[in-house]
Structure 1
Amino acid sequence: MNDMSETSSDAVYLLRRWMEQYGTDVINFAYSYVRNYHQAQDIAQDVFLRAFQNAHSFRGDSAVKTWLLSITANRCKDYLRSWHARHEMLHKEDWAPEDVADDDTESTVLGKLSRDEVWKRVSELPLKYREVVVLYYLRDLSTKEIADVLSASDEAVRTRLHRGRALLRRLLEEEEL
């Protein structure tokens, strides 16, 4: 019985460590799909529960972060196909998590507004471009890691990234006009 409790406590420790290390990445990646912070948190909880339940099947072929983000992508796609997601009304306050400014200097505010505008435009990209842009620029994954997360080829990821950047550039240029 002692072996079982040690194994259980090791698994709980591992889960806690994953949540501390990758929780923000999982929530933010889920948010890039569902565009609702509270739903992204629910998906993240489900991702970690599934990871915990299936930790024994993790072969180590990829990094834990890549594995968790792959689970996240699949859970988000399942959610977006669900009846609930197709019929849910988004409330304006759910659009983005609250940011807390460090200070109110003019340059900080202008920089934040500029970043917010870019990420607002990223959120307008079609999903296949948005997911690679978020994973590449916000989550700092390589195109190989993104390919693993999305079960796509490295070449497909590079193509989507290139097209996503071009589309984003057009959206930002249109905003300036």
Structure 2
Amino acid sequence: MMRHARRTDSQPGDAAPLAEWMELYGGDVIRLAYSYVHNFHKAEDIAQDVFLRAWQHYHEFQGHSSVKTWLLSITANRARDVLRSGAERRERADEGEAFAREVEPTDPADVVADKLARDAMWAAIRSLPETYREVMELYYGNDLTTHEVAEVLGIRDETVRTRLHRGRHLLERALAERGGMGVDHARG
């Protein structure tokens, strides 16, 4: 389900849009930040900074993209800034447990197999070069369209599709090396 926050003409200091953005897009922002820094606590710090900056600069938002795309663009830029600063290298990366999606309990063997496959796939995605990793994270992890990914990263739509295509091939190769698993090209 695609959720879009509406642009409200709020007054400076009005926290209502901030609360709405955090509720609607908080998970997406943290997930994207995590895909860069590989540390959940650092990703939370980046997310707080993103929402604060967005709220402070909301009057500059032109509405040419969705609020979600705008927030994810800020997130990508802020995460890159953190990586360039070197602060991230001094902190220990975690294993991504914070993003394990809840699975309805069925057969315990199926639950374990699904979790192992998902963990292997996201570990392989994290091992991709940043050019492909960020596109795949935005497209698959944040359910953005190729056009929205292009807006977030400031690149052309065709470039996104090319990087997705090449990233899938690299991912298939990485998964095959880790245990013979393939990639399902459908979202899910």
Same fold (TM over 0.5): yes
Match of 1:130 among 133, 137, 142: 133
Q: CA deviation at 1:169?
A: 0.4
SS state of the match for residue 162, structure 1?
helix
Q: What CA distance in whole angstroms lies between the structure 2 residues aligned with 1:145 and 1:84?
A: 29
Question: Do the aligned partners of residues 101 and 142 (structure 1) sit closer, same or farther apart at CA in structure 2, a change above 3 Å counting?
Answer: closer
> Aligned ranges for residues 53-68 of structure 1 at < 5 Å?
53-68=56-71
Bigger-Rg structure (1/2): 1
| Residue number in structure 2 paired with 1:18 | 21
Residue 164 of structure 1 aligns with an amino acid whose one-letter code is G
Judging changes above 3 Å, is the alpha-carbon distance between structure 1 residues 89 and 12 closer, same or farther for their aligned structure 2 residues? closer
Shift of 1:102: 5.0
What amino acid sits opposite 1:58 in the alignment?
F
Secondary structure at 2:155 match in 1: coil
Aligned to 1:90: 92
Letter in 1 for 2:92: L
What displacement does 1:173 show?
1.0
How many angstroms does 1:83 deviate by?
2.9
Matches within 5 A, 1:42-57: 42-57=45-60
Aligned with residue 121 of structure 1, among 117, 120, 124: 124
2:79 match: 76
Q: Choose which of 33, 40, 43 in structure 1 pairs with 2:43.
A: 40
Counterparts of residues 119-158 of structure 1 (less than 5 Å):
119-158=122-161
Quick one: which amino acid aligns to residue 158 of structure 2?
E
Distance 1:22 1:101, change over 3 A: same
Say if 2:11 is the partner of 1:7.
yes
Q: TM-score, normalised on structure 1? A: 0.89
Alignment-mate amino acid for residue 66 of structure 2: A
- In 2, Cα distance between equivalents of 1:28 and 1:112: 17
Aligned residues: 168
**In percent, how many aligned pairs have the same letter?**
53
The CA distance in 1 between the partners of 2:131 and 2:88, in whole Å, is: 18
Whether 1:164 and 2:167 are equivalent positions in the alignment is: yes
Which whole-Å CA distance do the structure 1 matches of 2:23 and 2:139 have between them?
21
Q: CA RMSD, aligned part only?
A: 1.7
Which residue matches 1:3? none
- Structure 2 Cα separation of the partners of residues 15 and 37 of structure 1: 21
What is the rounded CA distance, in whole Å, between the counterparts of 2:137 and 2:46 in structure 1? 17
Matches of 1:72 and 1:84, distance apart in 2: 16
Query: Which residue pairs with 2:179 in the alignment?
Result: 176
Q: Which runs of 5+ in 1 are unaligned?
A: 1-5
- Higher normalized helix content (fraction of residues): 1
